[in-house]
């Protein structure tokens, strides 16, 4: 009789465990079904190399979104035009009920003017364009690598403290240097002294993201 009681008790506990697991799985599935996910693309109106992209935006964003259960980063990339990369995209999957928290997170970051969000393939007109940085592009034509190294070192020295972000790309026979800051007039004045050379061209970056 005692053995029969033990067997019955074990069967009861095992059955209860299975029912509990089943209920938990059903609850998780129900939560997933009820929790709508949004496909969001952050369009950053500035080219970034991938190391800077991760350090400035993706790593801290990922940490925060995991803590707040907002969503996750699913991809990134850069549209390419005549002078190489000219902007940066970060792709997200966001919980619909956490969209406001996601936008609040973006307010803590610095972006160039003309940045915006695409939500489920539509531009977020409610938020509109955002950002405060303006940019300048310097093109160096037909300059050897060692010469470009010297020029770039001088630029870093002369422009120290005048910009928020800069990056450089090599494209065939050209070197493309970008500087972004709250105010780039001082940068333009310093770089403008070199513009008498046929090998150097300086232009402001558009404050509206133009898809090429």
CATH number for 37-123 (one of 3.30.420.130, 3.30.365.10, 3.90.25.10, 3.30.70.100): it is 3.30.70.100
Per-residue pLDDT tens for 137-192? 998 888 888 888 888 888 888 888 999 999 999 888 889 999 999 988 888 888 87
Say what percent of the chain tops pLDDT 70: 80
Residue 30 in this model has a pLDDT that exceeds 80: no
- CATH architecture of the domain 134-204 equals 2-Layer Sandwich (3.30)
Average the pLDDT over 32-45 and give the result.
Answer: 84
Task: List Cα–Cα distances, 39 to 15, 32, 74, 210, in angstroms.
Answer: 41, 15, 9, 21
pLDDT of residue 211: 59
pLDDT of residue 149: 84
pLDDT of residue 146: 83
All structural domains of the chain with their residue ranges = 1-34, 37-123, 134-204
User: What's the 3-state SS for the chain?
Assistant: CHHHHHHHHHHHHHHHHHHHHHHHHHHHHHHHHHCCEEEEEEEECCCCCHHHHHHHHHHHHHHHHHHHCCEEEEEEECCEECCEECCEEEEEEEEHHHHHHHHHHHCCCCCECCEEEEECCEECCCCCCECCEEEEEEEEECCCHHHHHHHHHHHHHHCCCCCCEEEEEEECCEEEEEEEECCCHHHHHHHHCCCCCCCEEEEECCCCCCCC
Rounded to two decimals, the pTM is 0.80
More confident residue, 129 or 211: 129
Residue 25 in this model has a pLDDT that exceeds 60: no
Whether 48 contacts 84, CB under 8 Å: no
């Amino acid at each position: 009789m005692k053995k029969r009681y033990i067997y019955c008790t074990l069967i009861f506990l095992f059955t209860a465990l299975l029912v509990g697991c089943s209920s938990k799985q059903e609850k998780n599935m129900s939560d997933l079904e009820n929790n709508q996910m949004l496909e969001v693309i952050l369009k950053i109106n500035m080219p970034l190399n991938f190391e800077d992209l991760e350090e400035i935006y993706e790593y801290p964003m990922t940490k925060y979104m995991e803590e707040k259960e907002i969503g996750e980063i699913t991809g990134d990339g850069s549209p390419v035009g005549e002078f190489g990369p000219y902007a940066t995209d970060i792709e997200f999957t966001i919980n619909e009920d956490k969209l406001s928290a996601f936008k609040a997170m973006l307010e803590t970051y610095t972006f160039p003017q003309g940045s915006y969000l695409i939500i489920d393939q539509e531009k977020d007109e409610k938020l509109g364009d955002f950002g405060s940085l303006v940019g300048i592009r310097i093109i160096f034509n037909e300059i050897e690598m060692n010469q470009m190294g010297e020029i770039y070192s001088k630029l870093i020295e002369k422009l120290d403290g005048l910009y928020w972000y800069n990056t450089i790309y090599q494209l065939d026979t050209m070197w493309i240097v970008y500087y972004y800051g709250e105010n780039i007039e001082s940068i333009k004045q310093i770089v403008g002294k070199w513009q008498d050379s046929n090998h150097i061209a300086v232009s402001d970056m558009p404050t509206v993201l133009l898809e090429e």
